[in-house]
Amino acid sequence: MQCLGPVIIVCALTGCWAHDYIFVHENRTWVEAQRYCRENYSDLATVWSEWDLWELCAEELNCTGAWIGLNNQQRNRIRKWHWSQVGQEYTERPLRWRSEKTSDQQEKMENCVSIHSDLSLSLQSCCSTQQFICYDDRSNISEVIHRSMTWSEALHFCRQMSVDLLSGWSQLLDPVLKDKIQAHEDSSWWVGLFRDPWTWSNLTSSFRHWHHQHGFMCGNASFTDGQCARVGPKGTWTTANCTEKNPFICYNPKPLKLTLVRQNLTWEEASAYCAHNHSRLLSITSRGQQTQAEQAARQAHSEAVWLGAHYTCLLDLWLWSNGEFMVFKQWSKPEEESQCGQAAAMGRGGKWVKKDQEKRYNFICVQ
């Protein structure tokens, strides 16, 4: 290998840039399918975004009824809070609720949140119908939709327009949105906040794509009805008893080559260098990528190496340089508040740290 100046190429480092979904046409219980996928691939299929939905099942395959990695087999069945928009992490905020938000009594099937014209929030049955608010994170514009739908139908409506239900506290408290909804007295709208007891096999995603009433425990549905998820009509998901035997979908990471650049640049300079000479700064979306990045970081000549994530104040979230939201995280101090002008770097121990973009570090490009 010929090296030029301070740049050193690190070869044979592979990670997980995307995911290969493998349809296995053997009937197994969910637990048996999980074991098979972990022994032969990586895990049962996890879906992180709308883009993954297109890859989950090829058009020529009939995947209806196939297990995926989503399940609610946890014994305590505690419902956790999520935002529907990928990358928005739920945190507690002292807002005004019309109903007791923290109640988790099993007989109460109110799991989706609406905002009222007086700016209060309330829990509703996800299968009741009301108007809703879509949000475009690219233009930072909220649109009030005056059509009554269930929460799941509203979510599908927004996503068909390449947007999402309104997600994130900063978007919810936007002054422009306040003016829009306060103009309609005694009205309420779905937003993207919900709670459920479902988790993925690899514990890394909050993405949901339920068919109608499935998954949200509507009406008299029991917490024990259908504890595992499978592919349903038109690619949506339905629930079934985990002991049923069905075909299933595994996933496996696709390999990539990483390049460690032993040159100290600012985050913007490093990003431009990678874009010009390779593809982009490294985005980490899985444990496999994290492991490979750690190998590269240990060979760096600086205390940390730049990764491809930066904090955007406008949206109040972290974005990767390839445009994806940050779902997988390895922050050394997750409670530390994010600041404008920060980017993500990896220390030699593998944990991520929030650094001012003007600092100078080595960095990792992806081919």
- Reported as a single tens digit per residue, the pLDDT across 62-106 is 889 999 999 987 655 678 888 988 767 788 776 788 865 555 555
The H or E element that residue 49 is part of is none
CA–CA separation, 167 and 207 (whole Å): 13
- Reported as a single tens digit per residue, the pLDDT across 155-200 is 989 988 878 999 988 888 888 888 988 888 889 999 999 988 888 8
Entry pTM: 0.65
C-alpha closest to that of 225 among 244, 251, 207:
244
CA–CA separation, 176 and 103 (whole Å): 31
Amino acid at residue number 149 = M
CA dihedral 284, 253, 198, 208 (to 10 degrees): 80
Please report where in the chains the tokens 């993925």 appear, as a residue: 200
Residue 43, CB half-sphere, CA atoms under 13 Å: how many? 15
Buried residues in 191-211 as b, exposed as e (16+ CB within 10 A): bbbbbbbbbbbbebbbbbbbb
**What DSSP character marks residue 302?**
S
Q: Which fold has domain 19-77+198-253?
A: Mannose-Binding Protein A; Chain A (3.10.100)
Q: Which fold has domain 258-366?
A: Mannose-Binding Protein A; Chain A (3.10.100)
Name 350's bridge partners. none
**What DSSP character marks residue 97?**
B
pLDDT in tens, the chain (367 residues): 233 333 433 323 333 334 678 999 999 999 999 999 988 888 999 987 777 787 787 665 788 999 999 998 765 567 888 898 876 778 877 678 886 555 555 556 788 999 999 889 999 888 899 999 999 876 778 999 999 999 988 998 998 887 899 998 888 888 888 898 888 888 999 999 998 888 889 877 788 888 866 766 565 444 555 589 999 888 889 989 999 999 999 988 666 688 999 999 999 999 999 999 988 999 987 766 787 788 888 889 999 999 999 999 888 889 998 888 887 788 988 878 899 999 999 998 889 999 999 999 999 999 8
CA dihedral 181, 186, 187, 191 (to 10 degrees): 70
C-alpha closest to that of 206 among 88, 73, 43:
88
Residues of the chain with CATH 3.10.100.10: 19-77+198-253, 258-366
Residue 345, CB half-sphere, CA atoms under 13 Å: how many? 27
Backbone Cα Rg of the chain: 22
